[in-house]
Structure 1
Amino acid sequence: MKKVTAYIRSRKAAEPEPFCAHLYDLQSIQAHVADRVATLPAPCRLFYAIKANSDLPILQALLPHVHGFEVASLGEVRKVRAVSQEVPILFGGPGKTDEEIHGAIEHRVTLLHVESLHELRRAAYIAEQRGVTLPILLRVNLRGPLPSATLAMAGRPTQFGIDEARIPEAIQLAQSLPALDLQGFHLHSLSNNLDATAHVELVAYYCRRVREWAEAYGVHVRYLNAGGGIGVNYAALDEQFDWGSFVGALGPMLEREALPDMTVFFECGRYLTAHGGWYAVEVLDIKQNHGKTYAIVRGGTHQFRLPVSWQHSHPFQVLSMERWDYPFARTEITDTPITVVGQLCTPKDVLATDITVPRLRIGDVIVFQYTGAYGWAISHHDFLSHPHADLVYLDGTEEL
């Protein structure tokens, strides 16, 4: 946060334009990821799910530390190959086109996660046409029971994976297609789980199900992709997922439950980069309407869509700025609940609701925390044609 504060104050001292930027501390992200990789048990590998933030500097910063990248489109495959021709790639997501399957082969994707029986047949057909054997995992939509989490991709009807009831059919079909090499299973079932104990139990459940399929159908399971799903607590930033407890229990559990020579993948996105990002926006106006106080900022959900997408008030701090370029008095409030909104012509352009601040003035900067994942990447940048936010990547005390 000190780097971010110093950068904002420096910029505001030099420029009169309202401040509006996503800022990323690359060193902090690298240190966080390096620690997670180093503390994983031996049979595990950590991949970065680039959907969380696929900016080139982020991928370059993580390349030396992760075991590979997880992607969900051919465009993401190309982004990864732009930073490395050799790094392993896992390619998932429903509704892959023929072009994407061809692209997976051309770009030497390590494993293709197959999401349906139709996709299984198409992958085999394309691989046979190209004269290659395509390594695949079957993505399974488990029946459960599964832990509760913010988002559920399995344990209920969704567009993700193959219904667990049809996995025997999918295994037998894959085994009958010589252009495919079935190397294991993908069981990414939920997102943003904050309970470390429950997450270990979930992976244990995965291991047991995979063992049953391996024994029943003679599958040599080289890989179990346990997905991501490790969460970030936006409601209480000092109460985050207990990684130490997770890895401490994960190793002994895998010794009991994992198949011999099976590698377990984790494909985390939010958990790896969220903490290292900030969205900082200047207060353009403060006004009251029908008994509520609104802080209108330079930006909004077209630049940071996560709060409205998840329907939460995103945590922030107020950075007091002394610059004031007008000859009239500056509006100020104290000990007042504020709703932080953007510039869009919709009442849904809300970033935080009824949060009491000790002091706020027009011209101060509101700094939203933990915005390094699913912030800029998922936002509708060109709605109303406002200028884009600056993207600032900090390394040490200098902007790259």
Structure 2
Amino acid sequence: MEKVIELLHQRMREHRQSDRPLCAFVYDLEHLRRHAARRIDSLPPSCRLFYAVKANSSRPILEALAGIVHGFEVASLGEIEKVRAVAPDIPIIFGGPGKTREEIEGAMRHNVSLIHVESEHELHKVAHIAAARGIQMPVLLRVNLRGPLPQATLAMAGRPTQFGIDEASLPDVIRIARQYESVRIEGFHLHSISNNLDHGQHLHLIDTYLDRLTGWIEQFGLTVTCLNVGGGIGVNYADLGRQFRWNDFAARLGPLLAAKCPPGVTVVFECGRYLTASCGYYAAEVIDLKENHGKKYAVIRGGTHHFRLPASWQHSHPFRIIPREEWAYPYPRMEWTDAAISVVGQLCTPKDVLAQDVPVPRVRIGDIVLFLYAGAYGWAISHHNFLSHPHPEHLYIGEDGQAFAYGGASRAERLG
């Protein structure tokens, strides 16, 4: 974090000259690479770790991960094209409901390794397009299991959702797939929950997946090469010191797979948030302090149109105050000490809230609110152009410790 704060102080000095409030995302790429590499190194040999691009699809993030992860998981043709722009040959797996013909054709054109088939209709569509191209497309059948499944922040299976093939319909879908020469079932995709913080529950989930896989192999006489267990490993935003116990999870995963995973099956993880959240920060200058009906608000330069995650998940996102000593104006600088503040943005809606009633020792107009663990599902899911406010800067600290700004198809500006 020291490198991040140093960079922010540099940008504050530069912004002071133009009298523009600071607002920026900052990413520590060396932290990202180190974090991802350690997770991969600890996995059993039969496992592969793919990065779920939806968490953060910026080019510098993809470039940093391309030489470390085993591949990328994508959910659109646009994401496929972003990956291929930085890694022409890396394995790609393509998931998500409602794939269009254009997307499926594009996936095949870009040589994706696997397509996750989400429905009977999608199976027909993939088979028809593959036949027209004269290829046999490897697929995984995404199954919405009947449960019971562990509890997590979000559930994609074990209940009615738009994701996957109802487990009760699986026999019919497998029968249809076998009628086509243009598709080949390589295995199953069973991503069922999201943001799970309990490593023991996650092991139990994978145990459940292995039982299902073994049963289906016997029931349908399948030769399976891949079990995709999805992502779903979470980030504890409420207590940053108590995260998913990855090392304990990986240590117990090896014996579980040795005991229950069928021979020749590769287990694939698709982690997004868990890989990128901790490398990113959202920094925004306090532009006003105000009190209404006994509640204190710090209004920042920015808001949920930049960093939508807190409002989307309805939590108070963790932050710290970075003091800024300069004050160049003739009028008083407002400040609070030992106050509980709610951090809000500039949008014309009471839902533009990033944190609520958080005690701080001191906050002043002109200080910087630095949100931690902002590297995933922040900018990527936000409604950037609402009210037409300026976009934040996007700053990256490279492996050499040097910073650069990125805002387009190339590295636009070296900093410092």
- Kindly provide the CA deviation profile for residues 124-156 of structure 1, in whole angstroms up to 9, marking residues without a partner as x: 111111111111000000011100000000000
Shift of 1:171: 1.2
Bigger shift: 228-237 or 171-180?
A: 171-180
Distance 1:262 1:54 in 2: 29
- 1:393 counterpart SS class: strand
1:7 aligns with 2:7: yes
1:74 maps to which of 69, 73, 77? 77
**TM-score scaled to structure 2, two decimals?**
0.95
1:316 maps to which of 319, 334, 351? 319
Distance 2:10 2:76 in 1: 39
1:281 aligns with 2:280: no
Distance 2:401 2:43 in 1: 31
- Kindly provide the CA deviation profile for residues 159-191 of structure 1, in whole angstroms up to 9, marking residues without a partner as x: 000001111111111111110011000000000
Distance 2:104 2:26 in 1: 35
**What amino acid sits opposite 2:302 in the alignment?**
G
- 1:15 counterpart SS class: helix
- 1:129 counterpart SS class: helix
1:305 maps to which of 285, 293, 308? 308
The match for 1:207 is 210
**What amino acid sits opposite 1:269 in the alignment?**
G
Distance 1:298 1:394 in 2: 22
Distance 2:135 2:385 in 1: 41
The 8 Å contact of residues 344 and 384 in structure 1, kept in 2 or not, is answered as yes
1:225 aligns with 2:228: yes
Question: After TM superposition, where is structure 1 displaced by more than 2 Å over at least 4 residues in a row?
Answer: none
Distance 2:380 2:347 in 1: 18
Bigger shift: 70-79 or 211-220?
A: 211-220
Distance 2:190 2:184 in 1: 18
Distance 2:182 2:191 in 1: 25
Structure 1 unaligned runs (5+)? none
1:155 maps to which of 144, 147, 158? 158
- 2:230 counterpart SS class: coil
Shift of 1:15: 2.1
Distance 2:206 2:128 in 1: 33
Distance 1:9 1:93 in 2: 41
Percentage identity across paired residues of the two chains? 59
1:120 aligns with 2:123: yes
**What amino acid sits opposite 2:219 in the alignment?**
A
Distance 1:121 1:155 in 2: 25
1:41 aligns with 2:44: yes
1:355 maps to which of 347, 358, 376? 358
Bigger shift: 263-272 or 169-178?
A: 169-178
1:374 maps to which of 377, 383, 391? 377
Shift of 1:336: 0.8
1:325 maps to which of 301, 310, 328? 328
Bigger shift: 147-156 or 172-181?
A: 172-181
The 8 Å contact of residues 13 and 323 in structure 1, kept in 2 or not, is answered as no
Distance 2:42 2:191 in 1: 21
Shift of 1:218: 1.2
Q: For 1:384-399, list aligned pairs within 5 A.
A: 384-395=387-398, 396-399=400-403
**TM-score scaled to structure 1, two decimals?**
0.99
Distance 1:247 1:15 in 2: 45
Shift of 1:397: 3.4
- 1:113 counterpart SS class: strand
**What amino acid sits opposite 2:9 in the alignment?**
R
- 1:367 counterpart SS class: strand
- 1:169 counterpart SS class: helix
Bigger shift: 7-16 or 273-282?
A: 7-16
Distance 1:371 1:220 in 2: 41
Distance 1:204 1:82 in 2: 37
The 8 Å contact of residues 278 and 372 in structure 1, kept in 2 or not, is answered as yes
Distance 2:199 2:132 in 1: 45
Bigger shift: 151-160 or 211-220?
A: 211-220
Distance 1:285 1:18 in 2: 11
Shift of 1:221: 0.8
Q: For 1:42-191, list aligned pairs within 5 A.
A: 42-191=45-194
2:35 maps to which of 29, 32, 35? 32
The match for 2:414 is none
- Kindly provide the CA deviation profile for residues 277-305 of structure 1, in whole angstroms up to 9, marking residues without a partner as x: 00000000001111111000000000000
Distance 2:301 2:56 in 1: 22
- 1:66 counterpart SS class: coil
- 1:374 counterpart SS class: coil
**What amino acid sits opposite 2:389 in the alignment?**
H
The match for 2:262 is 259
Shift of 1:251: 0.3
Q: For 1:238-249, list aligned pairs within 5 A.
A: 238-249=241-252
Distance 2:78 2:222 in 1: 32
1:292 aligns with 2:302: no
RMSD over aligned CA atoms reads: 0.7
Bigger shift: 284-293 or 170-179?
A: 170-179
Bigger shift: 328-337 or 108-117?
A: 328-337
Structure 2 unaligned runs (5+)? 405-416
**What amino acid sits opposite 1:258 in the alignment?**
C
Shift of 1:399: 1.0
Distance 2:314 2:245 in 1: 24
The 8 Å contact of residues 12 and 323 in structure 1, kept in 2 or not, is answered as no
Distance 2:41 2:362 in 1: 42
